[in-house]
Amino acid sequence: MGTAYRMKYLHPVDEKPTIEMIPYSPEYREEYKRVYNECYREMREALDIKPYDFIQDDSFFESGMENVYLLTDNGALIGSVAIISGEIDDLIVSREYQRHGFGRQILLWALEHIRSENVTLHVAEWNKKAVSLYKKTGFEIVDTIEF
Question: Residue 23's closest CA among 113, 108, 112?
Answer: 113
SS3 string of 75-121?
Answer: CEEEEEEEEECCEEEEEEECHHHCCCCHHHHHHHHHHHHHCCCCCEE
Q: Give the chain's count of helices (H) and strands (E).
A: 3, 7
Instruction: Give the model's pLDDT for residue 86.
Output: 94
Q: How far is the C-alpha of 53 from the C-alpha of 134, rounded, in Å?
A: 24
| pLDDT tens sequence for the chain (147 residues) | 799 999 999 999 999 999 999 999 999 999 999 999 999 999 999 999 999 999 999 999 999 999 999 999 999 999 999 999 999 999 999 999 999 999 999 999 999 999 888 999 999 999 999 999 999 999 999 999 998
CATH among 3.40.630.30, 3.90.1410.10, 1.10.1740.10, 3.40.640.10 for 3-146: 3.40.630.30
Instruction: Give the model's pLDDT for residue 97.
Output: 97
The strand pair at 87-93 and 76-84 is best described as antiparallel
Instruction: Give the model's pLDDT for residue 40.
Output: 96
Cross-strand bridge partners of residue 145: 4
**What does the domain layout of the chain look like in residue ranges?**
3-146
DSSP3 helix / strand / coil % (the chain, rounded to 5) = 35, 30, 35
Question: Residue 43's closest CA among 71, 84, 2?
Answer: 2
Alpha helices in 23-85 (DSSP H): 29-46
Instruction: Give the model's pLDDT for residue 117.
Output: 82
Instruction: Give the model's pLDDT for residue 116.
Output: 85
